[in-house]
A and B are shown apart, each in its own frame.
Chain A
């Protein structure tokens, strides 16, 4: 971190001199940092070591995870072969990927646009009003939000069907059940948008407000109108922020918010609503196929890491910056 600063620093100089000796301060700091690592050891690293479960056989005789860990025979890559050959698994993966790609296309740019539009508001009170209210849904749990979605889309008491009918789709006697497989993705994208767009825009708006206003003034002198300012000043200035979030989104292409899907799942939409997060829960906690589930989890983790590293590499080549260094 900033070498010239480090060199000039009196404390660091002192430490450099007594490189070998640990002072009381060093020991305190070291212990504190170790406390964090101790926590991670228990809740992250040891479970990470538990992925060897993925290479054990699933056996209905062993109902307890620890019995599987101890007694189950090794399966090699058997579990992986099993789910690679499983039609169900691939439909789950394609749901996960398909939905996440769609969301990347629609729900990712939405907060950016929202923030740019919000920034164009000249009355700061109105701006604050819109922003404050648009963030609110983020703070509501998915359980509550799911309940609200069920209420809104209800076929007799809901409000979505009358709206759809008003715009000329469907009929009054034959309301559409929006919680069936056909409409699930659309529904999910819309409600994710409602819940997330305000919150997502906070970071972009903050990035926009830190842009030097002289840039705009200079552009206006040169005769640029507001749209050109948006396109040529605002957007490039927040590009680094966008890149960071894009990379994070890409590395999460296989993960989903479990609760979001769980609260809206029903037998009528399971074909389209089963994603890896819920499928892993289903297979692991309900069907108790521990090894099989761990293998799937390992697959998900590895793909996530690969996606992240690849995206990071490409971003560094193309945009000159990535998540790290």
Chain B
């Protein structure tokens, strides 16, 4: 634990110093710029091909979703739709359940991620303090759960015992705390200068106030990163709906809905027959997929700079 914490702290510090002076990286790169060799051409091309391979699947589904259903099923739609239509979207958007699932997933993502971040952060604050009594014991108790667990059935029994089965709270409460995120956040706290804490103590601030007014604002990057993980995890979660609920309207999530659309063509559109004639379950499921990734696509450009700059360094260490 000590070692893990130490290394993550050290690397977070590194990554933060890296983050601040942008020019530093730029300078290094400028001095490296030399004539392109054959290796560079091969490398540039190879990486471009890799990226194309990674993104083409999404493009493939996108063009499928704009294709006329019957025509699409004939095959051969690889680059552009042969017959363009928005009927698939009209069909999927008219299914009320999609919006119910969307709403549930949005609430889950917003509420669940925020609560989990706050709770984990305040515990992480306590765990990052060297003067915490029995700190070693706390660390060990936390760490054990990362490597050993009771397994599916006892956990399921616990969920039942708490009355969380088939309740919306099953998405929120069991996800309130994560040891892994705690270690990441307390690594971030650990890199904050101890003098700040001392002066706040002299000014008479309580520990919770120090956390809220000094430590939290000073480790925004780490918190943003963890919040992002939590949000993406919540948005993409399928397992919890399948196992801990019966998939009713009050608990249905987007991924669960999507799974049913993809595998069982389970959607009930409220559109006229002439629109339904233009679609097949397959192309409708493509439209559903696109609708489900749209929010991620929308926020991605704003968030991607976080990963690229390497805030994750210390974070990814376990």
A positions within 8 Å CB-CB of B: 1-2, 6, 9-12, 15, 22, 24-26, 28-30, 32-33, 35-37, 39-40, 42-51, 53, 65-66, 69, 114, 117-118, 120-124, 126, 128, 130-137, 139-152, 154, 156-159, 162, 194, 197-198, 202-203, 205-207, 209-210, 213, 226, 241, 244, 248, 251, 258-259, 263, 280-281, 284-285, 290, 293-294, 296-298, 300-301, 304-305, 308, 322-325
Q: For residue B224, give the distance in angstroms from its CB to the closest CB of chain A.
A: 15
Chain B residue nearest to A203 in the complex (CB): B316
Q: What's the Cα separation between A262 and B194 when bound, in Å? A: 48
Q: What's the Cα separation between A202 and B307 when bound, in Å? A: 7
What 18 additional pairs, Cβ within 8 angstroms, besides A133-B51, A141-B238? A11-B130, A11-B198, A24-B206, A28-B206, A29-B129, A32-B123, A37-B141, A40-B141, A43-B174, A49-B154, A50-B155, A65-B157, A121-B47, A136-B58, A137-B54, A148-B60, A293-B152, A293-B153
B72 contacts chain A at the CB level, 8 A cutoff:
yes
Q: What's the Cα separation between A156 and B296 when bound, in Å? A: 30
| Given known A50-B150, A284-B153, A305-B148, contact A122–B313 (CB-CB < 8 A) | no
Residues of B near A146 (CB, < 8 A) are: 262
Contact of A1 among B2, B46, B151, B316 (CB under 8 A): B2
Q: List 12 A–B pairs whose Cβ atoms lie within 8 Å, in order of A's numbering.
A: A28-B208, A36-B142, A40-B142, A49-B154, A65-B160, A124-B25, A156-B73, A157-B73, A203-B316, A259-B239, A294-B150, A325-B3
Looking at A114, A209, A285, the one whose CB has the most chain B CB atoms below 10 A away is: A209
A194 touches B34 (CB 8 A): no
A117 touches B149 (CB 8 A): no
Contact of B312 among A36, A117, A203 (CB under 8 A): A203
Q: For residue B115, give the distance in angstroms from its CB to the closest CB of chain A.
A: 12
| Given known A118-B47, A122-B40, A151-B64, contact A47–B54 (CB-CB < 8 A) | no
B145 touches A29 (CB 8 A): no
| Count of chain A to chain B residue pairs whose CB atoms are closer than 8 Å in the complex | 320
Contact of A142 among B44, B135, B238 (CB under 8 A): B238
| Given known A33-B126, A139-B296, contact A206–B310 (CB-CB < 8 A) | yes
Q: For residue B101, give the distance in angstroms from its CB to the closest CB of chain A.
A: 12
Contact of A147 among B25, B153, B262 (CB under 8 A): B262
Q: Is chain A's interface secondary structure helix, strand, loop, or mixed overall?
A: helix
Residues of A near B278 (CB, < 8 A) are: none
B77 contacts chain A at the CB level, 8 A cutoff:
yes
A39 touches B157 (CB 8 A): no
Q: For residue B163, give the distance in angstroms from its CB to the closest CB of chain A.
A: 13
The digit string for B8-41, where 1 denotes a CB below 8 A from any CB of A, is: 0001001100100000011011011110100110
Chain A residue nearest to B157 in the complex (CB): A65
B222 contacts chain A at the CB level, 8 A cutoff:
no
B84 contacts chain A at the CB level, 8 A cutoff:
no
| Given known A29-B129, A151-B64, contact A134–B54 (CB-CB < 8 A) | yes
